Amino acid sequence: MRGFILCLGVALVLAGCATTGGGSSRSDPLEPMNRRFYLFNNAADRLVMAPVAHMYTKATPKPLRASLTHFFHNVTYPDVIVNDFLQGKLHQGVSDISRFVVNSTVGVFGLFDVARHMGLKAHKEDAGLTLAHWGVGRGPYLVLPFVGPDTLRNTPSLLMSVVTNVLFYVGNAALTVPLAVFDVINARANASSSLRFVHENAVDPYVFTRNAYLQHRNYLFHGGHLPLNAVEEMMLPPPLVPSAPPPLRGPARHPDKSGVVAKPRPSRDIGVRPSHPGE
Amino acid sequence: MGWQKSGGRVGISACVFILCIGMAQAHAVSVQPAVAVIARFQQTLLSVMKKAPELGFKGRYRILAPAVRESHDLPFIAEITVGPYWPQLTAAARAAFVRTFTQLTVATYAAQFDGYSGEAFQETAAHAVAGGDVLVETTLTAHGRKEATLDYLLAQSGSHWKIDNIVANGVSDLALKRAQYTAVIQNKGFPALLAMLRVKVAQLSKAR
């Protein structure tokens, strides 16, 4: 175990070095492997998870699904609380303990989000965000089989989310295994509209998912409200190809020589902004 | 002499105060038209969502098309999304791309905003940002519960303020499109990208 933690620590430090000032290809050096896992996950989803989630959605009324979502969110909430304190967010940690206690008792084991009505809003924290908080570099983007998008820095979250889950300590497999299966199916059902959006709108679903995931992680890193300079910086992404791009293929290969070309707007700063730090 | 000194201080303070008021007013003037553009566009979205079933996809598209063209700087956004490849495109290719990109943008709105369940938009803040642009921060709520943050970056295009980018829950629409489009052009060429966007428009148009 010590060896594993040491290896992970070294890998994260190296990952931090590797990504300073990284552009698109730098943040995804494992793209060929990631794309293969992405296709694998998509196939598994299409063949197994999507039909199961569809049946689940048809068989359960919306209020029941909402309550189950609250319940599964509540049993994983100690992960948020632990990471609040690991990041030194004491006030948020106390608020999240109150939220967990209120929802676990008054909210009937978390089936109802009573705490929200008492002004105790939900936060999102995990081990990856804690490592980011303490300056650990993001590391390469990863697509893990059966898990989905991730980064090297975020991988400890996989273990930590298990050991901080209330169900992990129940000790009755006859109860916890079916609940864990329901958790996965419920989460997949909740993600249906987002996945449909990717399917309907993305011309390169892999690039879409990767960039959306990394940007959203950065947003979570900033507590759900990006600072003004981060928003300004992300408005225009860094150039994919810093120097001259490779020539276009097909009919548009040769530049128009008729002189009828749309004038670029020189007042705008196109594609020269730096990539944003953080997640 | 003391009176003169204190009088001088009062004078300087008054000047600073007036300058601050002036700057605050200038800020308000520069931000307000951009905020109005967002309020008008979101109002149109809400009215379309409330009548979504009766309107159907085509009805929603018909209402949203002028609203999107008026509020979004689509030619500029289209140019940014293909990044370094734009100067290599012919005038005809650019025109075809902007046309298809416009259809895709409107079709995406018409397909996504296809119903109403207590949603509302709230403006939370507006700031003047670098380059004279304006950032308008809003939230989307459903039955009073926050669903998403929507930040709009607007720039002046001629005499109008228009949207250049939308950041939803920290995810930049412009950055996502640019990352995908440049990847497709790099791997498959510009004609393939144009064909893919046309297929997307056709697929979205099948929505109810």
Could you give the percent of chain B with pLDDT greater than 70?
Answer: 86
CB contact under 8 A, A235 and B172: yes
The mean predicted confidence, pLDDT, of chain A is: 80
Total structural domains within chain B: 1
Parent domain of B174 = 2-22+32-204
Q: What is the pLDDT of residue A26?
A: 63
Which DSSP state fits B58? Answer: H
A19-38 pLDDT tens trace: 323 335 566 999 999 999 99
Residue from A203, A207, A211, A267 to probe the interface with B (highest B Cβ count within 10 Å): A203
CB contact under 8 A, A200 and B186: no
B136-185 pLDDT tens trace: 999 999 988 888 999 999 999 888 999 999 999 999 999 999 999 999 99
Which are the contacts of B181, defined by CB distance < 8 A and separation ≥ 6? A203, B81, B82, B83, B193
| CA of B72 vs chain A CAs: smallest distance (Å) | 15
The structure tokens listed for A106 are 């008054």
How many angstroms separate the CA atoms of A95 and A29, rounded?
40
List CB contacts (< 8 A) between A270 and chain B.
79-80, 83
| CA of A131 vs chain B CAs: smallest distance (Å) | 20
Bridge partners, residue B71, by sequence: none
Q: What angle do CA A249, A251, A252 make, to 5 degrees?
A: 70
What's the Cα-to-Cα distance from A243 to each of A17, A23, A137, A266, B85, rounded to whole Å?
A: 24, 13, 26, 18, 11
Residue B163 forms part of a structural domain = yes
CB contact under 8 A, A235 and B165: yes
Of A99-103, A202-206, A268-272, which range is least confident? A268-272
Burial class (CB in 10 A: 0-12, 13-18, 19+), A140: buried
How many angstroms separate the CA atoms of A29 and A216, rounded?
20
| CB-facing half-sphere around the CA of B130: CA atoms within 13 A | 13
pLDDT mean over A40-44: 97
Residue B157 forms part of a structural domain = yes
> With b meaning 16 or more CB within 10 Å and e meaning fewer, what string describes A36-60?
ebbeebbeebeeebbebbeebbeeb
Residue B158 forms part of a structural domain = yes
Q: Does B90 touch chain A (CB under 8 A)?
A: yes
Burial class (CB in 10 A: 0-12, 13-18, 19+), A266: exposed
CB contact under 8 A, A207 and B191: no
Q: What is the pLDDT of residue A224?
A: 85
Q: Does B83 touch chain A (CB under 8 A)?
A: yes
Q: What is the pLDDT of residue A152?
A: 96
Residue B145 forms part of a structural domain = yes
pLDDT mean over B2-21: 48
- pLDDT-derived band at B13 (thresholds 50, 70, 90) equals low
The mean predicted confidence, pLDDT, of chain B is: 87
CB contact under 8 A, A215 and B165: no
Of A106-115, A165-174, A250-259, B197-206, which range is least confident? A250-259
List CB contacts (< 8 A) between A267 and chain B.
131
> Is there a contact between A48 and A42 (Cβ–Cβ < 8 Å)?
no
| CA of B100 vs chain A CAs: smallest distance (Å) | 14
Strand B145-157 to B160-168 pairing: antiparallel
How many angstroms separate the CA atoms of B30 and B36, rounded?
11
> With b meaning 16 or more CB within 10 Å and e meaning fewer, what string describes A84-118?
bbbbebeebbebbbebbebbbeebeebbbbbbbee
CB contact under 8 A, A250 and B192: yes
Q: What is the pLDDT of residue B1?
A: 41
How many angstroms separate the CA atoms of B114 and B110, rounded?
7
Looking up tokens 């989460």, which residue turns up?
Answer: A187
3-state SS string over chain A? CHHHHHHHHHHHHHHHHHCCCCCHHHHCCCHHHHHHHHHHHHHHHHHHHHHHHHHHHHHCCHHHHHHHHHHHHHHCHHHHHHHHHHCCCHHHHHHHHHHHHHHHHCCCCCCCCHHHHCCCCCCCCCHHHHHHHCCCCCCCEEEECCCEEEEHHHCHHHHHHHHCCHHHHCCCHHHHHHHHHHHHHHHHHHCHHHHHHHHHHCCCHHHHHHHHHHHHHHHHHCCCCCCHHHHHHHHCCCCCCCCCCCCCCHHHHCCCCCCCCCCCCCCCCCCCCCCCCCC
CB contact under 8 A, A248 and B193: no
CB contact under 8 A, A248 and B178: no
CB contact under 8 A, A226 and B167: yes
Which are the contacts of B67, defined by CB distance < 8 A and separation ≥ 6? B40, B41, B44, B45
Rounded to two decimals, the pTM is 0.80
List CB contacts (< 8 A) between B101 and chain A.
none
Q: What kind and span of H or E run contains B171?
A: strand B171-172
Residue B27 forms part of a structural domain = no
Q: What is the pLDDT of residue A248?
A: 64
Q: What is the pLDDT of residue A78?
A: 98
B50-73 pLDDT tens trace: 999 999 999 999 999 999 999 999
Which are the contacts of B105, defined by CB distance < 8 A and separation ≥ 6? B68, B72, B74, B77
| A203, A264, A269 ranked by CB distance to B79: nearest | A264
Residue from A26, A116, A231, A261 to probe the interface with B (highest B Cβ count within 10 Å): A231
List CB contacts (< 8 A) between B197 and chain A.
203
CB contact under 8 A, B94 and A258: no
CB contact under 8 A, B84 and A235: no
List CB contacts (< 8 A) between A116 and chain B.
145
pLDDT at A249 over 90: no
| CA of B31 vs chain A CAs: smallest distance (Å) | 15
Cα–Cα nearest to B171, from B155, B142, B148: B148
Helical axes B190-204 vs A192-201, angle rounded to 10°: 130
Q: How far is CA B12 from the centre of its chain?
A: 41
Residue B62 forms part of a structural domain = yes
ipTM above 0.85, yes or no: no
| A202, A251, A252 ranked by CB distance to B180: nearest | A202
Q: What is the pLDDT of residue B5?
A: 47
Q: What is the pLDDT of residue A247?
A: 60
Centre a 10 Å sphere on the Cβ of residue B89 and count the other Cβ atoms it contains: 23
List CB contacts (< 8 A) between A265 and chain B.
76, 79
List CB contacts (< 8 A) between A203 and chain B.
180-181, 184, 193, 196-197, 200
Name the H helices within B51-159: 52-71, 74-81, 91-112
| CA of B67 vs chain A CAs: smallest distance (Å) | 21
List CB contacts (< 8 A) between A24 and chain B.
179
Residue B107 forms part of a structural domain = yes
pLDDT at A246 over 90: no
Domain of B136: which CATH number?
3.10.450.710
pLDDT at A64 over 60: yes
Of A47-56, A173-182, A185-194, A219-228, which range is least confident? A219-228
Q: What is the pLDDT of residue B143?
A: 85
Amino acid occupying residue A164: T
Q: What is the pLDDT of residue A12?
A: 35
